Amino acid sequence: MEFSIKSKNPEKQESACVVVGVFESGKLTTAAGAIDKSSNHYLSDVIRHGDMNGKAGSTTLLRDVPGTACQRVLLVGLGKEKEFREKEYGAAIRTAVKFLKDTGATDAALFLTEIPVKKKSVAWRIRQAVIITRETLYRFDQFKSQKNNEFLLKRIDLAVDRKTKPVIAEEALAQGQAIAEGVALARTLGDLPGNICTPAYLADTAKRIAADHALECEVLERSDMESLGMHSLLSVAKGSHQPPKLIVLHYKGGKANDKPVVLVGKGITFDTGGISLKPGEGMDEMKFDMCGAASVLGTIKAAALMQLPLNLTVIVPSVENMPGGNASKPGDIVTSLSGQTIEILNTDAEGRLILCDALTYAERFHPTAVVDIATLTGACVIALGHVASGLFANDDDFAAELLAMGSEAGDRAWHLPLWDDYQDQLKSNFADMANIGGRPAGSVTAACFLSRFAKKFTWAHLDIAGTAWKSGAEKGATGRPVALLTHFLLNRAGKLEN
């Protein structure tokens, strides 16, 4: 999809479709008002006759409206003006794009981007419009014999009023495109099945990203990890025929001695549970257990596309968790890269076993901050559902920063506690710690486990078990939390105009 910024009167816009909003009271937005005026109150008549009631989600398509230069005018209902906030804005964009993709229009001029949203800037409206448009048009049909038809819609002009500085709108557009690109990559990797998206596939993907964007890439093989002493990570790989990989990517947009932000993404390309085998129902969804990895790869791609002036390192421990004759067994004890020993009481709590070694590995990059992203616990789905990702941190200011960026991005997280009181649940009779802490507060004890490997830096952990993908009829990866992470980086780079 091609996007461009336009500041032109809506009635003069030569376009296949001009999209304008109408509130529930029948009140016209500025752009709708301009068309109404030039068309001798055509829109007012449509509303008066009950053909558009302004309810959120409603649409009315008009052709050959007098006094306009466009072929069609699409009216989009916005709901009550007083309640028109971030979420409603996003919903209006989504409604418009869903409608447009099924019309004959090859291009459209979206005037919804001119509608004020409380406390949000023009830059925010443009970024969100691009991200949401691309999200709405995403398709994953590479394994369907019958491909979907190509969209006729090829170009969207985003309207801004004349007061808006063009550079601001253009920069927001570029950021939106980059973020959307990162989200799409994360979704595609998530949607790929486990027989294709293996640890080796993720490593190849990382190498491709590195080649496309001039990043440094290093992939540690099993033997490298053995020499280093990453026995916790390696213990998860024992049941699988797929060799494990530890993927490292460096983006260097900052000064040579700027400390990097390090992102660590859980890359279990399929989680059967291992010897602590999961029940069969819905197990296919465990192909999404690499969505943390997908999100950090998407994020570094977006950072490179935006050429952010900062240094970013991404680490992806990637393993397939399978049962097998050589697989780890409950009760096995391993020594992690940190030297701490772990009693594996449940082989299905494997995410923390690969992440702990990756976190210790992160120390060598002297990070300014580390965030790990993982589909870590079913308990997080119970706690927060599919709305917010769970956020844990060893620094409250850092947690607040990430929460704020999640809200800015419309990709929210919620802060959960990491109090010492929970650490006791990880006690083991035979090793330094157990890898599970029992049923109560399962997400917290998982985070507590990780915290023991994150003592040397500012660290946060995002549990995306409930947010990384959707189940049911709309089953598929969401690309979350690429939006949160990219906004965090934009903010760190001083590039977030809001």
C-alpha count within 13 angstroms, C-beta hemisphere, residue 21? 30
- Where is 250: in which H helix or E strand? strand 245-252
Interatomic CA distance for residues 428 and 180, integer angstroms: 44
Which partner from the list Zn ion, Mn ion, ligand BES, none does 403 bind, CB cut-off 5 to 8 Å by kind? none
Q: Could you tell me the two tokens for 108?
A: 């459209």
Whole-number Å distance between alpha carbons of 114 and 159? 6
- Edge-to-edge order in the sheet of strand 59-63: 2-6, 155-159, 107-110, 18-22, 72-77, 59-63
436 binds ligand BES (CB under 6 A): yes
| Cα separation, 205 vs 213, whole angstroms | 12
Instruction: Out of 346, 407, 423, 498, name the contact with ligand BES by CB under 6 A.
Output: 346
Q: Which of 289, 343, 357, 497 binds ligand BES (CB under 6 A)?
A: 289
Q: From the centroid of its chain, how far is CA 340?
A: 32
200 class by beta-carbon count within 10 Å (0-12 exposed, 13-18 middle, 19+ buried)? middle
User: Can you tell me which of 176, 274, 442, 479 binds ligand BES, judged by CB under 6 A?
Assistant: 442
Stretch that binds ligand BES, among 16-24, 180-188, 348-356, 389-397 (CB under 6 A): 348-356
Which strand (E) or helix (H) includes residue 252?
A: strand 245-252
378 binds, among Mn ion, ligand BES, Zn ion, none (CB under 5 to 8 A by kind): ligand BES
Of the candidates 378, 401, 404, 415, which one interacts with ligand BES according to CB under 6 A?
Answer: 378
Q: What gap in Å lies between CA 187 and CA 39, rounded to an integer?
A: 43
Listing DSSP states for 313-367 in one string gives EEEEEEEEE---TTS--TTEEEE-TTS-EEEES-TT--HHHHHHHHHHHHGGG--
Q: Which stretch binds Zn ion (CB under 5 A): 75-83, 282-290, 306-314, 476-484?
A: 282-290
Listed ranges 229-237, 286-294, 364-372, 411-419: which one lies at the site for Zn ion (CB under 5 A): 286-294
Work out whether 289 is an interface residue with Zn ion (CB under 5 A): yes
Among the listed residues 11, 157, 191, 271, the single contact to ligand BES using CB under 6 A: 271
Say whether residue 271 binds Zn ion (CB under 5 A).
yes
Nearest distance, CB of residue 112 and ligand BES, angstroms: 35
Does 348 contact Mn ion by CB under 5 A? yes
Pick one of 110, 300, 312, 349: the residue that binds ligand BES (CB under 6 A).
349
CA distance 426 to 413: 25
Minimum distance, C-beta of residue 306 to Mn ion, in the bound complex (Å): 34
Nearer CB in complex with Mn ion: 303/359: 359
Nearer to Mn ion, 108 or 275 (CB): 275
Give the interface size with ligand BES as a residue count (CB under 6 A): 16
Provide the 3-class DSSP secondary structure of residue 255. Answer: coil
What tokens does 180 get?
Answer: 């959307």
Active-site residues, by number, are 278, 352
Interaction between residue 320 and Zn ion (CB under 5 A): no
According to the binding rule CB under 5 A, does residue 271 interact with Mn ion? yes
Among 171, 381, 407, 414, binds ligand BES (CB under 6 A): 381
How many CB atoms are closer than 10 A to CB 141?
Answer: 9
- Least distance (Å) from Mn ion to the CB of residue 242? 16
Instruction: Rule CB under 5 A: say whether 351 interacts with Zn ion.
Output: yes
The site for ligand BES (CB under 6 A) is made up of 271, 289, 346, 348-351, 375-379, 381, 436, 442, 465
Q: Which residues bind Zn ion (CB under 5 A)?
A: 268, 271, 289, 351
